[in-house]
Amino acid sequence: MYKAFLIKYAEIGIKGKNRYIFENALRDQIKNVLRNMGEYIVTKEQGRIYIECPDGYDFEETVEALKRVFGIVQICPVMILDTTDWEPLQEAVGDFVQVKYPDRNFTFKMEAKRGNKNYPITSPEICIEMGAYLLKRFPELKVDVHRPEVKIMVEVRNKSYVYSEIIEGPGGMPVGTAGKALLLLSGGIDSPVAGYMISKRGVTIDAVYFHAPPYTSERAKQKVTDLAKLVSRYTGPIRLHVINFTEVQLYIYEKCPHEELTIIMRRYMMKIAEQIATDTGCLGLVTGESIGQVASQTLHSLAATNEVCKLPVYRPLIAFDKQDIVNIAEKINTYETSILPFEDCCTIFVAKHPVTKPSLKVIRNSEKALQEKIDELVNTALETKETLFIQ
Amino acid sequence: MEAYLDNAATTRAFDSVKNIMTEVLVSDYGNPSSLHSKGVQAERYIKDAKEIISKSLKADPKEIIFTSGGTESNNMALIGTAFANKRSGNHIITTRIEHPSVHNPLLFLEENGFRVTYVPVDNEGKVIQEELLNAVCDDTILVSIMYVNNEIGSVQNIAEISKGIKEKKPNILFHVDAIQAYGKYTIYPKREGIDLLSISGHKIHGPKGVGVLYVRDKVKIKPIIFGGEQQKGMRSGTENVPGIAGLGQAVKLIYKDHEAKISHLYSLKEMLISEVSKIEGITVNATSSDTRLTAPHIVSVSFEGIRSEVLLHALEERHVYVSSGSACASNHPQLSGTLKAIGVKKELLDSTLRFSFSVETTQEEIEFTINVLNELVPILRRYQRH
């Protein structure tokens, strides 16, 4: 019965002269999620996006894909009629009710819109006439204009559109409308969720992963690319930069006090990430940090890691409880992968009692011991980075 | 250069194994249960394989059941025996160093009213026979013991154990997990007093997904898989004809010039042990005064101060492939029960690697591995977790 979807969006509608940018981005994102599923035709028309589905398309699969497109507020499966002539339209609406609601013991309300103002019948008239027709054809139906169980919507434009079902979309802004940021992606639960959240506001995501062979395994890297792939179902394609961090890490390990290791290591991660961000046109860094979760995420520690970079660092999970993060991870399907037991580079040399209130003065002082070789090692890490295109 | 020293995890299939399997897959692809000639043709492969395997065991072809591999063979032996004999008793004896494919079915049986005694081993990984015999009681229906341990290569004196338990209680059934032993030892179940014997294909250069359970004639067990009554109802499901044909081929080859093959393996083992022992701070686990009393293809080594996973990945970067502890247990972060059972020190449990060879392993591979170890161990020891 349905051959198409009507896509409604909210925030975009108020973006003034930039509106077309947002609409085009939304259309492109919709095309992107549907690209491997068949020949869908996505068109923009009078503040709406219509998706016409190919023959034999899978309804559930299509809806699932659309639910991953940020910017969509409502997904309405819609029946399209090529004509706007009254008689066939009336009959089609009747058939629609007959097929979609075999048990017709419900209250309803008609709603109509005339996109085509030359249409001879006005919207209120459409409602009245159509309601009367339905009541005559299906005497079991009852009208309730205040609290109807079913709203039947008819829109008359160049074609006629009939729908009654509204599926909630994810909301947010279409990816590609808010610039690009670089996500620090580990193998954990938080960072994929952070990527998802920031992307929900329209931000395009690239990612960086710090690999430390042989301390972290090929499987740990595979896990991160798997996570990037899961996140890319929402964010669109991700460029994943893999940094070989072993030499930098071992050098810090050799030269600095062990309880400061994690903080100093993270400072260097931020530096490297910022350099990649600058080189690739990213306007900020994104992390999955949340206050107090581990020693390196106290306000003191965050201040100490933040200090090394000038780019803004976005931390969408900063005030989230772990369980809330887990809930989102489960919703976006990254949780199962995140909990696979491979070590990441943050845990391999972790001290028994890492500092929780590092003083910048002390940290800077410790870092002096790195002067001889650290710049060279950081540069090598940057030069040897591997970039994977994940989609 | 590359050194694949993880043959206790799996082996490369022999070329002739691949060839016969391809033939079955694309030419003689019939269902052995079909009545027409294509079916008969397929059935012939099964008969041939059965012939080869039963000959290698000095057994009767009707004592051979094909399974999906070692795990299924062990499951079937334990669960099938327990359920068929529960009227005679509910007690089962095993050791503390069994593979999970024996250990976990026994946990399942414990949940279902059976009682299991786990007999300890000494620090060479040998069952303490006195304790084993003491555990035998009126209710004991089954004893299950592995021939060769997959993590440390310790070998049990199967014939002696069988004699001991059967003297105490003649109707006890004796299951032997021979997954790491078959192909390395000549095993004649009747001579050694074995009632049930598990074999796996891919440990002996055969295909994955196929194994054998030998069930001595007259021994009653219940099937654990039900369906179309293939293999006399003991193991339903269309036979894995390509796998079975491949297994037959592998068995034929592995037992050809067998003595020469085994002494090649021992020479590799002796070489590795003597060279690796020169590295400081290492322990070779479960050694014996005579190496020939241990399995020819497995060496377990603990490296003080290095985590096994790190060393494993560092070796991997140099194309040396090994396992940490046992491959079957190493996807879990949990530490090996076998190493604990033979008294490996706690701080070495997570510092142990398993090197395992096959008939295709060369001296050069061992030399190469030794060189790489000599180079990596000192470097990795500089960086330790605190």
Say whether both B279 and B221 belong to one domain: no
In A202-263, DSSP assigns E strands to: 204-211, 238-244
Say whether both B175 and B287 belong to one domain: no
The reported pLDDT for the residue numbered A358 is 84
Give the A:B interface size as CB pairs under 8 Å.
34
Q: Go through the domains of chain A in sequence order and give each one's CATH number.
A: 4-168 (3.30.2130.30), 180-390 (3.40.50.620)
pLDDT, tens digit (0-9, with 9 covering 90-100), for A284-319: 999 999 998 887 888 989 999 999 999 999 999 999
- Best CA proximity match to B72, nearest among B326, B327, B243: B243
Say whether both B277 and B191 belong to one domain: no
| Domain range enclosing B196 | 15-254
Asked if the structure places residue B46 within a domain, the reply is yes
Q: Residue B385 is nearest to which of A250, A341, A348, comparing CB atoms?
A: A348
Asked if the structure places residue B159 within a domain, the reply is yes
Residue to test with chain A: of B303, B310, B380, most A Cβ within 10 A: B310
The reported pLDDT for the residue numbered B335 is 58
Asked if the structure places residue B386 within a domain, the reply is no
With an 8 Å Cβ cutoff, is B311 touching chain A? yes
Scan for tokens 């990441």, then name that residue: A344
Which tokens is B277 given? Answer: 């022992």
Cβ partners under 8 Å of residue A141, min gap 6: A97, A104, A106, A107, A108, A134, A135
Write the DSSP string, A151-162: EEEEEESSSEEE
pLDDT, tens digit (0-9, with 9 covering 90-100), for B357-382: 999 999 999 999 999 999 999 999 88
Q: Which DSSP category does A25 fall into?
A: H
pLDDT, tens digit (0-9, with 9 covering 90-100), for B312-355: 999 999 999 999 864 444 444 455 789 999 999 888 988 999 99
The rounded radius of gyration (Å) of the Cα atoms in chain B is 21
- Under an 8 A CB cutoff, do A213 and B385 touch? no
| Buried b or exposed e, range B105-124, using 16+ CB within 10 angstroms | bbeebeeeebebbbbebeeb
Q: Residue B383 is nearest to which of A216, A250, A351, comparing CB atoms?
A: A250
Asked if the structure places residue B317 within a domain, the reply is yes
pLDDT over 90 (residue B5) = yes
The reported pLDDT for the residue numbered A343 is 67
Whether the CB-CB separation of B117 and B94 falls below 8 Å is answered with yes
Say whether both B7 and B20 belong to one domain: no
Q: Residue A215 is nearest to which of B310, B332, B386, comparing CB atoms?
A: B310
Asked if the structure places residue B312 within a domain, the reply is yes
Say whether both B170 and B124 belong to one domain: yes
Which residues from chain A sit within 8 angstroms of residue B314, using beta carbons?
A: 213-214
Say whether both B190 and B315 belong to one domain: no
The reported pLDDT for the residue numbered A116 is 79
- Under an 8 A CB cutoff, do B316 and A349 touch? no
Say whether both B189 and B113 belong to one domain: yes
Q: Residue B333 is nearest to which of A341, A350, A351, comparing CB atoms?
A: A341
With an 8 Å Cβ cutoff, is B386 touching chain A? yes
From the candidates B328, B335, B349, B380, give the one annotated as an active-site residue: B328
The reported pLDDT for the residue numbered A347 is 65
With an 8 Å Cβ cutoff, is B316 touching chain A? yes
Asked if the structure places residue B318 within a domain, the reply is yes
- Under an 8 A CB cutoff, do B313 and A253 touch? no
- Under an 8 A CB cutoff, do A213 and B313 touch? yes
Between CA A209 and CA A224 the distance in angstroms is 8
Quote the percentage of chain A above a pLDDT of 70. 97
Domain boundary among B205, B230, B254: B254
Helix (H, G, I), strand (E, B) or coil at B251: helix
pLDDT over 90 (residue A151) = yes
pLDDT confidence tier of residue A26, bands split at 50, 70 and 90: very high
The stretch A97-125 carries a mean pLDDT of 90
pLDDT over 60 (residue B123) = yes
Between CA B339 and CA B325 the distance in angstroms is 8
Asked if the structure places residue B47 within a domain, the reply is yes
The stretch B116-134 carries a mean pLDDT of 96
Chain B, nearest residue to A255 by Cα: B383
Between CA B367 and CA B285 the distance in angstroms is 20
Between CA A345 and CA A58 the distance in angstroms is 42
pLDDT, tens digit (0-9, with 9 covering 90-100), for A165-210: 999 999 999 999 889 999 999 989 999 999 999 999 999 999 999 9
Q: Residue A214 is nearest to which of B314, B385, B386, comparing CB atoms?
A: B314
Q: How far is B243 from chain A (nearest CA, A)?
A: 29
Quote the percentage of chain B above a pLDDT of 70. 96
pLDDT confidence tier of residue A218, bands split at 50, 70 and 90: confident
Which residues from chain B sit within 8 angstroms of residue A352, using beta carbons?
A: 386
With an 8 Å Cβ cutoff, is A350 touching chain B? yes
pLDDT, tens digit (0-9, with 9 covering 90-100), for B32-60: 999 999 999 999 999 999 999 999 999 99
Domain boundary among B235, B254, B273: B254
Say whether both B185 and B294 belong to one domain: no
The reported pLDDT for the residue numbered B329 is 44
Say whether both B226 and B267 belong to one domain: no
- Best CA proximity match to A98, nearest among A147, A90, A148: A90
The reported pLDDT for the residue numbered A21 is 85
pLDDT confidence tier of residue B293, bands split at 50, 70 and 90: very high
With an 8 Å Cβ cutoff, is A351 touching chain B? yes
Between CA A48 and CA A73 the distance in angstroms is 12
In chain B, how many domains are there? 2
- Under an 8 A CB cutoff, do A214 and B332 touch? no
Between CA A170 and CA A161 the distance in angstroms is 23
Between CA B341 and CA A84 the distance in angstroms is 82
The reported pLDDT for the residue numbered A341 is 77
Residue to test with chain A: of B313, B316, B324, most A Cβ within 10 A: B313
The reported pLDDT for the residue numbered A204 is 96
Asked if the structure places residue B344 within a domain, the reply is yes
Active site residue B137: no
| Buried b or exposed e, range A135-155, using 16+ CB within 10 angstroms | eebeeebeeeeeebebebbbb
Q: How far is B373 from chain A (nearest CA, A)?
A: 14
Q: How far is B209 from chain A (nearest CA, A)?
A: 24
- Under an 8 A CB cutoff, do B309 and A348 touch? no
- Best CA proximity match to A185, nearest among A334, A380, A37: A334
Say whether both B221 and B121 belong to one domain: yes
With an 8 Å Cβ cutoff, is A253 touching chain B? yes
Say whether both B191 and B270 belong to one domain: no
- How high does pLDDT run on average in chain B? 94
Q: Say which range, A268-277, B18-27, B322-331, has the weakest mean pLDDT.
A: B322-331
- Under an 8 A CB cutoff, do B312 and A214 touch? yes
Which residues from chain B sit within 8 angstroms of residue A349, using beta carbons?
A: 383, 385-386
Instruction: Read off the CATH number of the domain in which B74 is found.
Output: 3.40.640.10
Say whether both B241 and B360 belong to one domain: no
Which tokens is B224 given? Answer: 């654990």
The stretch A47-75 carries a mean pLDDT of 92
Looking only at the bridges linking them, the beta strands covering B196-200 and B298-303 are unpaired
Instruction: Read off the CATH number of the domain in which B350 is found.
Output: 3.90.1150.10
- How high does pLDDT run on average in chain A? 91
The reported pLDDT for the residue numbered A181 is 98
Domain boundary among B254, B275, B301: B254
pLDDT over 80 (residue A17) = no
The stretch A263-269 carries a mean pLDDT of 94
pLDDT confidence tier of residue B218, bands split at 50, 70 and 90: very high
- Best CA proximity match to A138, nearest among A84, A96, A79, A80: A96
pLDDT over 50 (residue A81) = yes
pLDDT, tens digit (0-9, with 9 covering 90-100), for B134-173: 999 999 999 999 999 999 999 999 999 999 999 999 999 9
Which residues from chain A sit within 8 angstroms of residue B372, using beta carbons?
A: none
pLDDT, tens digit (0-9, with 9 covering 90-100), for A34-43: 998 999 999 9
- Under an 8 A CB cutoff, do A258 and B386 touch? yes
The reported pLDDT for the residue numbered A51 is 95
Which tokens is A241 given? Answer: 């930069």
Q: Residue A214 is nearest to which of B310, B332, B386, comparing CB atoms?
A: B310
The ipTM (two decimal places) reads 0.73
The reported pLDDT for the residue numbered A71 is 93
The stretch B169-193 carries a mean pLDDT of 97
